[in-house]
Amino acid sequence: MVKNLFLTNRFFIGLGILIVVFLAAFPFKILLPMAQAMLVLFVAMSVADAILLFHRRTRLDATRNAPTLMSLGDPNPIQLRIQNPTGYHWHLKVIDEIPFQFQKRDFELQMTVKAGESTETTYDLTPTERGEYHFGDILLFATSNLGLIRRRFRVEAAAMIPTYPSVIQMKKYQLKAVKQIANQYGIKKIRRLGHSYEFEQIKTYVPGDDIRTLNWKASGRRANLMVNQYEDERSQQVYCILDKSRVMRLPFNELTLLDHSINATLVISNIILQKKDRVGLFTFSDKLGTTLAADAHPRQLQRILEELYHQKEGNSEANYELLYYAVRKLVRGRSLLLFFTNYESLFALERALPTLRLLNELHLLVVVFFKNTEIEAFAQQDAENTETIYNQAVAQKYVREKMQMVQVLRQHGIQAILTRPEDLSIHTINKYLELKARGLI
């Protein structure tokens, strides 16, 4: 009982007032009985409060409702439900022992639970690294309306919830890439420059259909304009390649570039499978990591999710020659390669360029790398002194060099995406849909 008993601030305030009253009453004996009466009343109220709180029928129940897995970089809702089966109102301070990765040492919730009722509250947790997150117990610190004594209830609720690449983002973009409203969210509706050889059906012409697909024989038979309708060619191979070298350890918005790339890989993999194409996965640094052959099986997305969950950044340089050897040996047939990496200087790109050109000769290569948003923001600020002018000149040179990298890649026939980390998924989807619409895959 003692270890679960705590004295509140109200108790110490009342005690302080009594001490002041006693000190003031000592010179005046006529006031001393009044002070003693106040002391007795205070003690009686404290004892009554303690009896009420520690009665054998006094109890509180709590449950935590959390997702079976948390999504990396997204707010994940955690719901607490507090039940009060007693006949008294309780004022609660609730402390949920959240995983140490969040480093929230002052996390607490305040609420009131009425007699015989229950209440619910929800808070969000945003994990910034993949792995296992261990929750502890739920601590309830209850006080009555008197508020002099506080009792602690410990509810056992230990649980482990893994944090995977963002499933929330994957579901968010799943329909946006297919529906006509997709452009409202930044996903472009790409104009089809041609059509594949996958004939689907003959349908009645409506304004907006391509008049080059008019079927004159069917139109003559039906006495109405009819057009041929085609569908995207299916079963095309797409591989996502993740660079796990030290250049991907840079943090942006509390996530590393590798984590941003992993989230985008899961999103684009789901879109590819929705389009009935086959998707595979390569990871590498100085050594070859995951090699997952392209497949359109319904379980392929789950395989990719599990592989992405275990990826870790390395401390060494990327071995591009090893990547070329692996792609040459393991990838059969022309494929689209979405290569997520980063280049901080033109010199770094030039070192990798010979291998990138060889990969582009075998397949359709798209190099995806990142803007440094912090340097761009600094380059656009107003200069206040000479030192700031020099620093901004260096920052502006860095920004121009990033744009120059895009031009160098395009000069060699390599597709390139230079994007902010937060826009990575949208730009990757746009590029995939564009290449598909142009029939380049």
**Inter-residue contact 175 to 187 (CB < 8 Å):** no
How much is the CA Rg of the chain, to the nearest whole Å?
Answer: 32
* pLDDT of the residue at 181: 39
pLDDT tens for residues 109-127?
Answer: 998 998 888 999 999 999 9
CATH of the domain at 428: 3.40.50.410
Residues 240 and 286 in one domain: yes
* pLDDT of the residue at 341: 95
Residues 219 and 284 in one domain: no
State which residues form the domain around 364.
169-191+233-437
* pLDDT of the residue at 176: 62
- Reported as type and span, the H/E element at residue 164 is strand 159-164
* pLDDT of the residue at 175: 66
Q: What pTM was estimated for this model as a whole? A: 0.80
Residues 207 and 247 in one domain: no
Provide the token pair at 155.
């509810």
**Inter-residue contact 248 to 256 (CB < 8 Å):** yes
Which of 182, 212, 231 is the C-terminal boundary of a domain?
231
Residues present in the chain in total: 441
* Residue closest to 153 by CA, chosen among 58, 49, 47: 58
* pLDDT of the residue at 185: 47
pLDDT tens for residues 353-373?
Answer: 999 999 999 999 999 999 988
Q: Is the dihedral of CA 324, 266, 429, 276 positive or negative?
A: positive
* pLDDT of the residue at 198: 58
Judged by phi (left if over 0) then psi (alpha if -120 to 50, else beta), residue 205 lies in beta
Which of 231, 254, 285 is the C-terminal boundary of a domain?
231
Residues 216 and 277 in one domain: no
Residues 251 and 298 in one domain: yes
Residues 275 and 349 in one domain: yes
pLDDT tens for residues 129-158?
Answer: 999 999 999 999 999 888 888 889 999 999
CATH of the domain at 78: 2.60.40.10
* pLDDT of the residue at 395: 82
Residues 148 and 160 in one domain: yes
Residues 238 and 375 in one domain: yes
Residues 217 and 306 in one domain: no
Residues 207 and 348 in one domain: no
Residues 81 and 146 in one domain: yes
* Residue closest to 242 by CA, chosen among 339, 336, 314, 133: 339
3-state secondary structure 230-295: EECCCCCEEEEEEECCHHHHCEECCEEHHHHHHHHHHHHHHHHHHCCCEEEEEEECCCEEEEEEEE
* Mean pLDDT, the chain cut into blocks of 10 residues (441 residues total): 73 79 68 76 84 84 93 93 90 92 87 90 93 93 88 92 91 66 48 52 78 80 80 77 93 91 94 91 93 91 94 89 93 92 92 94 94 82 76 84 93 93 91 84 73
The domain total for the chain is 3
Q: What are the DSSP E strand ranges found in 14-148?
A: 61-65, 70-71, 76-83, 90-96, 109-113, 118-125, 131-135, 138-143
CA distance 367 to 64: 43
**Inter-residue contact 95 to 141 (CB < 8 Å):** yes
Residues 152 and 32 in one domain: yes
